[in-house]
Amino acid sequence: MTRVGILGATGAVGRQMLECLEERHYAKEDIRLFASERSVGKTIPYGNDELVCEKIEDGCFDGLDFVLGAVSNALSKEYAPMIKKTGAVYIDNSSAFRLEEDVPLVVPEINGEDALHHKGIIANPNCSTIIAMMALAPIHALSPIQTIVASTYQAVSGAGIAGIATLSEEVEAVRSSKPVNPSVFPAQIAYNCIASIGSMNENGYTTEEMKMQNEGRRILHNDDLLVSCTCVRVPVFRSHSISLSVVTKDKLDLQDVRNAISGFAGDVLVEDHVPTPLETSNQDDVYVGRIRKDLIHENGISLWCCGDQIRKGAASNAVEIMDYMLRHA
């Protein structure tokens, strides 16, 4: 039996990881949940049963095959050595290790093979990056992608349970003409868009925006990839959308691109309508539509993709990395 721990089990991603294990029929006895001090003892439903959150302490990870991490960078760095010592594989959703050379950064459908060369830690990529790369990997396989211009439409779930609650609360405040006091986001997100996710780098791009280039390069195995990204929070609950314009090395036929996307595991080619974040919520596939020739570059292609941020953008991808490793063990 594969024994799995979830680190940060009470957050939006941690809870989704548990749901993914339930979908895969993991026995209750093979799962252990870990959470911060204030959540220790808290129970979380599992099928008709429930699981109890345990304290994180010396030896707590003993006997586990995998630990799925859904905690902050700081906590991830703190616990990673404890996990490594036990021999469990740590699949980490934080960005703490994503750019470390000996840590594979993996979207299983794209570079699952990389996961097999881990040294104890495997990093789960940024949510928008996963969804964009799922749409672009089949194109990259036809001809190397050289540049990407990306504008994101990111759901509030990216800020966790607090982000989701904030959108609901702010809509309610607007409804009853009460003042909105932004806390989780830098401005009111209800009926608004905020082009600021993460902190600002000196080059004028946010940390979130640079992930599309830095992580995209590692996932696509393309060190020369250039990405100009604008990350924008929108009042959507849990699915990210991304407007993408790419230039490939060779000129591609649009029908070849469509065929490649529709044949790519985890992608759904949508041609009869325009995919939306709402319809892609609560499921694992990335929907790709609006595939068309770019009007600027001979070798350019533009498209629109949507995928659930908590699932494929985080929890499902982490669990699928584990699935991949078990299949290739």
> What residue ranges bind its own copies (CB under 8 A)?
147, 149, 151, 153, 167, 171, 175, 186-188, 191-196, 203-205, 213, 226-228, 230, 232, 234-237, 241, 243, 245, 254, 273-279, 289-296, 300, 302, 304
Closest CB 301 distance from its own copies, rounded Å: 10
Is the Cβ of residue 28 or residue 292 nearer to its own copies in the bound state? 292
To the nearest whole angstrom, how small is the minimum distance from the Cβ of residue 212 to its own copies? 10
Taking the C-alpha atoms of residue 209 and residue 215, their distance in angstroms, rounded to an integer, is 10
Catalytic residue among 20, 240, 305, 306: 240
Instruction: CB nearer to its own copies: give 39 or 239.
Output: 239
Please, is 286 exposed, middle or buried when counting C-beta atoms within 10 Å of its C-beta (0-12, 13-18, 19+)? buried
Q: Establish whether 127 is a catalytic residue.
A: yes
> Least Å distance between CB 44 and its own copies?
25
CB 4 within 8 A of CB 66: yes
> Would you say 188 or 317 has its CB closer to its own copies?
188
Contact 78, 58 (CB under 8 A): no
The residue among 60 and 260 lying less far from its own copies, judged by its C-beta, is: 260
Pick 156 or 314: Cβ nearer its own copies: 156
Min CB(289)–its own copies separation in Å: 7
Catalytic residue, chosen from 53, 127, 229, 231, is: 127
Residue 44: both structure tokens together: 């979380």
Q: How many CA atoms lie less than 13 Å away from 79 in the CB half-sphere?
A: 31
Smallest gap from residue 70 Cβ to its own copies (A): 24
Point out the residues that are catalytic. 127, 240
